[in-house]
Amino acid sequence: MGNTEKFDLKKVTKEEHCLIAPCGIYCGACDIFLGRSRELAKELSRVMKGFNMIDVGPLIMGIEQLKIQDFFEILDKWSQGEKCSGCWKGICWEGGGNTVCPVRECAKKQDFLTCAECSKMPCNEHQGDKESQSPETSGWLEMVTKRYSRWNIDNLKRIREIGYRRFIDEMSKKVKNGFLTSDVISREMIVSELNKKTNG
């Protein structure tokens, strides 16, 4: 597709490059990127431990002490995790994100910020095409697309329509109004199923 006016990265700051993953996920709406739930987990753990919930939880909530302890361990582990810095951290072609992601590697090779710039987008719908991207890339994109209920593909189409600058502005407004990627993520066990198939 080439780098047309819509894909003009001069209209987007280097820091904003990190807001969009190559596959179309808007990282700026992802809690792992934003880190809010990690802070909330830390605060909830502090409050509940301060209340000595392990002692009174069985009485006031009817939950076993062991389950409360397990819950604290989950909260503590979650609160200690690192924020994701997006696929293009290092501003913009180094580090961050999933370093083994074939979609990112494909975009990087073609000097694209996202798959919206690619004439074969979405490659997971062109699997029979000999000219399409590698089966690994299209398979990964298919998994991401299922996990995000096609939201990432809709984002790529929207970027094609209005360009990066307007897309980032639109998404920023949605995030300010409370939108998070968790609003669109499938409740199916897509990653677990893929992991089972891969590690068999």
b/e code 155-168 from CB counts within 10 Å (16+ = b) = bbebbbeebbbebb
Full pLDDT tens readout for the chain, 200 residues? 444 667 887 788 888 888 999 999 999 999 988 999 999 999 999 999 999 999 999 999 999 999 999 999 999 999 998 888 888 765 444 555 666 788 888 888 888 999 999 988 877 555 455 454 566 777 888 889 999 999 999 999 999 999 999 999 999 999 999 999 999 999 999 888 877 877 76
Token pair belonging to 68: 């409360």
Dihedral sign, Cα of residue 107, residue 124, residue 7, residue 34 = negative
Residue 193 neighbours by CB under 8 Å, 6+ apart: none
Which letter does DSSP use for residue 9 in this model? G
pTM, to two decimals: 0.83
Q: Give yes or no for a cis peptide into 122 (omega within 30° of 0).
A: yes
Residue with structure tokens 């009174």? Answer: 56
